[in-house]
Amino acid sequence: MQPGQKTAAIRDGYGKGLLRIAEDNDVVVLDADLQDSTRSLQFGENHPERFFTMGISEADMVSTAAGLATCGKKPYASSFACFLVRNALDQIFVSVCYSKTNVKLVGSHAGLATGEDGPTAQEITDISVMRSLPNMKVIVPADSMQTEKAVEAMHKQEGPMYMRMSRMPTPIIYDDSHVFEIGKGYILREGENAAIIACGTMVSESLKAAEELEKEGIKATVINMSSIKPIDRELVIETANKTKAVVTAEDHTIIGGLGTAVEEVLFENRAYVPIEKIGVKDMFAESGKPEELYKKYGLSHDHIATAVKRVIYRKAQNNRG
């Protein structure tokens, strides 16, 4: 982060995004008693007649949202990611995905960035779970402004969608001119030596890593892959063919998330380049400050930079072979 650079929690953009689409009277918002934390309260204060506090009952919330969708409403249902994904998975599977209802699900406080709330609240499997569900789109914005624009983009498309948000403040990357497109990745920095493909809070960490690497003469492309499903396949392949070395970075388990999605694209298109995945290994973390957890569990910008050096070394070894 540059000195003086503004920060905001990614979740802060959700409430503002809901207000952007509030003029559509079919938009309704539901929350599982966490509306202040998810920021959906902003909509509730301005449009109480279209805001429903469902209590600590995520399964009921999702079922109600699906029912409202069948009546022509456009529901957004939010809670902490850990509660939404784990407590309402059957309803998400059947009433949203299988039934193809126009329900937008929003999980806040995801990843190790949730910090002191501990491992039961640090949802690190939601991307892989939601990505595996047929008909579900998965979005992970990189900052608060992109979250605002993502809410607008979700409103314009029919069908099941899941958006993941985090609590801790992160650098603001985009301004109001940003146009969010579902299925598109965004190049934030160009470089020919390697590519870093990241999502969520790890985008700003990746930009820090690229800045440090440039001081050593290593130029890395940084991509914000805020659309995990559908993923920007063309951009992944094009970047891999250009740099011949890829690192993925996510505040999520390395099993089934962004890194796995990128690997699938590369393998299916025979783009066999060295790749390393930065993320949570097959383990639970512990309580602590987000920056401390990132360092301990290998998610900091220093770890990303080291991974870039490793894939460049592997690329050089392959070239010699």
Please count the residues of the chain. Answer: 321
Helix (H, G, I), strand (E, B) or coil at 145: helix
Shared-domain flag, residues 200 and 100: no
**120-155 pLDDT tens trace:** 999 999 999 999 999 999 999 999 999 999 999 999
CATH number at residue 117: 3.40.50.970
Shared-domain flag, residues 14 and 143: yes
User: For the chain, what is the domain count?
Assistant: 2
- CA 114 vs. chain centroid, Å, equals 14
For residue 292, what pLDDT is reported? 97
For residue 48, what pLDDT is reported? 96
For residue 2, what pLDDT is reported? 54
Look up the domain containing 259 and give its range.
186-320
Beta strands 74-80 and 275-280 are: unpaired
Domain boundary residue among 110, 145, 171?
Answer: 171
Shared-domain flag, residues 19 and 45: yes
CA atoms of 149 and 116, how far apart (whole Å): 29
Q: Which of 23, 45, 49, 58 is catalytic?
A: 58
Domain boundary residue among 136, 171, 206?
Answer: 171
For residue 321, what pLDDT is reported? 55
Per the domain annotation, does 180 fall within a domain? Answer: no
Shared-domain flag, residues 68 and 105: yes
Shared-domain flag, residues 24 and 162: yes
For residue 185, what pLDDT is reported? 98
Whether 58 is catalytic: yes
For residue 269, what pLDDT is reported? 95
Per the domain annotation, does 178 fall within a domain? Answer: no
Spans of the chain below 50 pLDDT? 1, 3
Shared-domain flag, residues 129 and 43: yes
